[in-house]
Amino acid sequence: MRFLVDAQLPPALARYLSSAGHQAEHVYDIGLAAASDRIIWNYAVSNHAAIFTKDEDFVSMVGTSADAPPIVWVRVGNIGKQALLTWIEPMMARIISEIEAGEKLIEIT
């Protein structure tokens, strides 16, 4: 599975996903830290990547596009990166399963 981690989430999430056997990039790592949501969206579409984000704008975009990439909408307040990784880890099997089933919006709370 390929993931693109948006700017509101730490680069450590991309490293965690990579260590779990996925292809993962953070927008900082590919020069898209200051890019618009549309540019990040297009990169994800072109590279067949799901976007991990806290940005509600991506959620709005899902309903308006036939070629939407999967969006993993992280719905947790500000927490430290280790706490975030610990929180996400038990949900990864469900996230992967839903993406593989064709879901375009996976909300994790």
The pLDDT value given to residue 47: 97
pLDDT, tens digit, 9 for 90 and up, residues 63-101: 887 789 999 999 998 899 999 999 999 999 999 999 999
**Domain boundaries in the chain?**
2-107
> pLDDT exceeding 70 applies to what percent of the chain?
100
* Listed range (23-37, 52-66, 78-92) with the worst mean pLDDT: 52-66
- Judged against a pLDDT cut of 90, whether residue 14 lies above it is answered with yes
The pLDDT value given to residue 65: 79
The pLDDT value given to residue 96: 97
- Judged against a pLDDT cut of 90, whether residue 35 lies above it is answered with yes
The pLDDT value given to residue 66: 79
Closest CA to 49 of 2, 94, 81: 2
Which stretches within 1-109 are classed as H helix?
A: 11-19, 37-46, 56-62, 81-88, 92-100
d(CA 59, CA 42) in angstroms, rounded, equals 15
